[in-house]
């Protein structure tokens, strides 16, 4: 297991804007990647992470929605697909590990139906809501080269990128 650097929009926008490729097979090499993604996410800390955020253009997401003090509940999504979205939407104050120190409200479908392969390559098909629905849509956007700031106004998006550039400059 290894903690990998997380790409940010100020330095790696070209990679973060790319569409990730489907996974051919769920094997030990892919499981090693998912282990690294999970360790990197916990270290950030975050509740979700897409492979593109550590520079790997594969359609893989990890997530853990367990709250502080709860038993960790890691989830692995290989080749996830959203097959249905509710008309009803829900707002959430989103952040992103690739857009540090920027938070803003994003409206997304409140419920989605999701298919995916898990850590062992077993297929799943579930309808989800709440933070699970919000987070998986945020991560699926990453797999399609979309950041949550792309859902904001042009002015807010440009200001967000300027803010990240300042945050990265000051961290250097």
| Residue 94, contacted partner among Zn ion, ligand K2U, none, CB below 5-8 A by kind | ligand K2U
In three state form, how does the secondary structure of 75-92 look? Answer: EEEEEEEEEEECCCEEEE
Q: Is 96 in the site for ligand K2U (CB under 6 A)?
A: yes
Residues noted as catalytic: 139
Q: Is 94 in the site for ligand K2U (CB under 6 A)?
A: yes
- Return the closest-CA partner of residue 134 out of 94, 101, 84: 94
CA-to-CA distance for 105 and 111, rounded, in angstroms?
Answer: 17
CA-to-CA distance for 108 and 170, rounded, in angstroms?
Answer: 33
**CB closer to ligand K2U out of 79 and 142:** 142
What Cα–Cα distance (Å) separates residue 28 from each residue in 21, 35, 80, 143? 18, 10, 19, 21
Q: Is 92 in the site for ligand K2U (CB under 6 A)?
A: yes
Q: Is 96 in the site for Zn ion (CB under 5 A)?
A: yes
Residue of the chain from 60, 97, 112, 117 that contacts ligand K2U (CB under 6 A): 97
By CB under 6 A, which span of 7-15, 68-76, 94-102, 162-170 interacts with ligand K2U?
94-102
Q: Is 75 in the site for ligand K2U (CB under 6 A)?
A: no
Query: Which residue is associated with the tokens 């990679």?
Result: 15
Start-to-end CA span in the chain (Å): 26
Residues in touch with Zn ion (CB under 5 A): 96
Residues in touch with ligand K2U (CB under 6 A): 46-50, 92, 94-98, 134-135, 138-139, 142
């Amino acid at each position: 297991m290894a903690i990998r650097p997380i790409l940010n929009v100020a330095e790696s926008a070209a990679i973060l804007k790319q569409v990730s490729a489907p996974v051919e097979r769920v094997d030990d090499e892919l499981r090693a990647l998912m282990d690294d993604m999970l360790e990197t996410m916990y270290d950030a800390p975050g509740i979700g992470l897409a492979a593109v955020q550590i520079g790997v253009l594969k359609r893989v997401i990890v997530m853990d929605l367990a709250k502080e003090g709860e038993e960790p509940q890691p989830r692995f999504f290989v080749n996830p697909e959203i097959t249905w979205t509710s008309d009803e939407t829900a707002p959430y104050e989103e952040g992103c590990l690739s857009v540090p120190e920027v938070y803003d409200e994003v409206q997304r479908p409140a419920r989605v139906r999701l298919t995916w392969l898990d850590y062992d390559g077993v297929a799943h098909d579930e309808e989800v809501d709440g933070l699970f629905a919000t987070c998986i849509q945020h991560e699926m956007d990453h797999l399609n080269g979309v950041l949550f700031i792309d859902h904001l106004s042009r002015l807010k998006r440009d200001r967000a990128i300027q803010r990240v550039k300042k945050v990265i400059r000051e961290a250097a």
